[in-house]
Each structure stands twice: as C-alpha cells, then as structure tokens.
Amino acid sequence: MHRAFALSASVVAMTWAASALADSPKLKGQYAFTGSSACLVAPGHVGDANTPPPLPNPTPGVALPNSGFNANLQPKDSAPPPASPSQNFSRSFSVEGIRTFNGDGTGTVKGTAVGIVVKPTPGPNGFPHFPPSAGSGEFSFSFTYTVDGEGGWTSTMVPGTYSETFLTGPRAGQTATVDAIPPIVGMMSQDGKTLIAAHVTPTVETRSYSNGDVDPEICHRSRVFIKLPGRDDDDHDHDDGH
C-alpha cells in the first residue's frame, strides 16, 4: 500500500513538473532593458604615481604583470608603504538597449552605456595616469540562454562577440572588447513579459582597448527587461522563418 502511494505521488510530481514546464512562458522576442553597473578596475602600475614623470604604457595590448586580482579578489598591486600605492580605480555606468531572444537558446544585445570615473584615479605620474571623467559608448554582443521551467533563466555571453565604440569622453573614437562578461541569473514574471537579472558571483573579466590598455576588472550588473509589443510568441512559432 505504501509502495502504491509512493508510486502515485511520484507520478503526480512528474505530471506537475511536466505541466509547469509546458506552462512556463517561452523566452522569445525583443526586450527593452535598463540597468546599472559598477566595476573595480585593477590595471596594475609601473613607476611611482606620486613622482614624475608620467609614463607611457610599457606593454600595449598586454596586461601589466601586477595587474588583476589575488585569491581574495583584491588588486595584486596593493602593498603597504613605502611602496607606491595601488592604482586601482572604480567606474560606474548605466545602460539602455534591446536584448533579442531568438527562442532557440541564442540571442543578441545592442545598447548604449553612459559612465563616470570618479576620484581617486591613477596618477598623476607613472602609468596609468588620468583625471576623473565621463563618457558614453555603444555596445553589442551575442549570448546563449536557458530557461529552467520554474520561472528562472540564465544567460552567458558568447566569448569574442563583445564590441564597444566610444562616442564621447577621453576615449571617444576608441573601441573595446571584453573577453567574457560573467553569466547573469534572473527570474521572469508569470506572463514572461518582465524579466530581472544580475550577477550572483564576482568574476574577473578583462577589457582591452584599441589604444593598447588592458584592464582586468570585477563588475556587478543588474538589469530589468520589459517585452516590446508587436509580435506574440505564437506568431513567431508559426512564421515562415523570414
């Protein structure tokens, strides 16, 4: 009798799970998004930030030997006095754009970022060295995603697809790439028209600029997505592929 009850309960659970998966909204279509982000940047340094002269980048296109983070996620160039202090800095930015979910686990992102870099900044001597600033740029990348059938979803950038072009600020006219933006994990509303997502684990990513600067950084990002009107998922499911 207990065995029959257990079997019955198992069948009910499996049926409920299958039903929940079938009823979960399909993640397909275009979603407008906004969000905020901030990054701790650990470029490393050469020379003394407080003693002239300002220096050029000694290794264009290659990260400095003391750049990046240690096992405790602290900048590697941090050292007690009298050593030259760490030249890490922070930057923050807001984003707005459109994320397109193709319905097959792939998609694309296009957006605009507006950011600021505030004091303290590296320098004024040694390398790197620059004052506080603001700027903006346009970015795009491809991603893959999964939906768990219980209201959750995860997205990961396709390595090598991130590209950004700076429109204003000190880097206007330059471009940048990122090796891999860490995965974002999120939830969706019952009707699938509103999504939220954020990073859940601090992860080092490397941003490379067209002028030769290479900056390891750890960023946090949060996003809110709202589905754009126009075409329903059902229409997509029955289109002719054009």
* Model pLDDT for residues 163-175, shown as the tens digit of each residue: 999 999 999 999 9
Distances (CA, A) of 173 to 2, 14, 56, 111, 239: 72, 56, 20, 17, 40
Joined together, the tokens standing for residue 168 give 């204003």
Radius of gyration of the chain from its Cα atoms, rounded to whole angstroms? 23
Question: Measured between alpha carbons, how far is 84 from 123 in angstroms, rounded to an integer?
Answer: 10
Question: Measured between alpha carbons, how far is 130 from 124 in angstroms, rounded to an integer?
Answer: 7
Question: Measured between alpha carbons, how far is 102 from 237 in angstroms, rounded to an integer?
Answer: 11
Q: What is the mean pLDDT of residues 2-30?
A: 50
pLDDT of residue 112: 98
Q: What is the pLDDT of residues 127-142, one digit of tens each?
A: 999 999 999 999 999 9
Q: In this structure, which amino acid lies at residue 238?
A: H
The pLDDT of residue 17 is above 50: no
pLDDT of residue 21: 37
Q: What is the pLDDT of residues 38-69, one digit of tens each?
A: 999 999 999 999 999 999 999 999 999 999 99
The pLDDT of residue 113 is above 60: yes
The pLDDT of residue 6 is above 80: no
54/11: higher pLDDT? 54
In the chain, where are the structural domains located? 26-237
pLDDT of residue 109: 98
Q: To the nearest whole number, what is the mean pLDDT of the chain?
A: 87
Question: Measured between alpha carbons, how far is 69 from 67 in angstroms, rounded to an integer?
Answer: 7
pLDDT band with cut points at 50, 70 and 90 for residue 83: low
pLDDT of residue 230: 72
Instruction: Kindly state the percentage of the chain with pLDDT values over 70.
Output: 82
Burial class of residue 222, CB neighbours in 10 A (0-12, 13-18, 19+): middle
- Which stretches within the chain are classed as H helix? 2-23, 233-237
The pLDDT of residue 240 is above 80: no
Question: Measured between alpha carbons, how far is 127 from 144 in angstroms, rounded to an integer?
Answer: 37
Q: What is the pLDDT of residues 224-238, one digit of tens each?
A: 999 999 755 544 443
For the beta carbon of residue 31, count every other beta carbon within 10 angstroms.
23
Provide the 3-class DSSP secondary structure of residue 164.
strand
Q: What is this structure's pTM?
A: 0.84
pLDDT of residue 25: 55
Lowest mean pLDDT among 10-24, 104-118, 201-215: 10-24
